Amino acid sequence: MMPMKYLIVTTDEFEKKLEDLTKKDKPLLERIAKAILKLEENPYAGKPLSYALAGYWSLHIGKYRIVYEIDENSKEVILRTIGHRKHIYS
């Protein structure tokens, strides 16, 4: 029996920032796409965040971070935002 995959859901903010980041960087887009596909199988692959971002998770892709939530009831991974590690948490 195959494990259940999670549904990946994106927010408008995530999509806009992803487009801005990858407009001129197709290899980065491919790396991000591969990382997102892994979240379908195992959304707990990232690291849990704390303090003001408690309840969110962070997935590292080189210098970049995806901030996301996991909804166990609906089996969804909600991609909230993406950005450079220096700026993503502020």
- Check if the beta carbon of residue 58 is closer than 8 Å to that of residue 46: yes
Kindly state the average pLDDT of the residues 83-90.
Answer: 86
Residue 3 has pLDDT above 90, yes or no: no
| CA distances, 16 to each of 41, 79, 81, 84, 87 (Å) | 25, 12, 9, 14, 16
* 15-54 pLDDT tens trace: 999 999 999 888 999 999 999 999 999 999 999 999 999 9
Domain ranges of the chain: 7-84
Residue 4 has pLDDT above 90, yes or no: no
CATH superfamily of the 7-84 domain: RelE-like (3.30.2310.20)
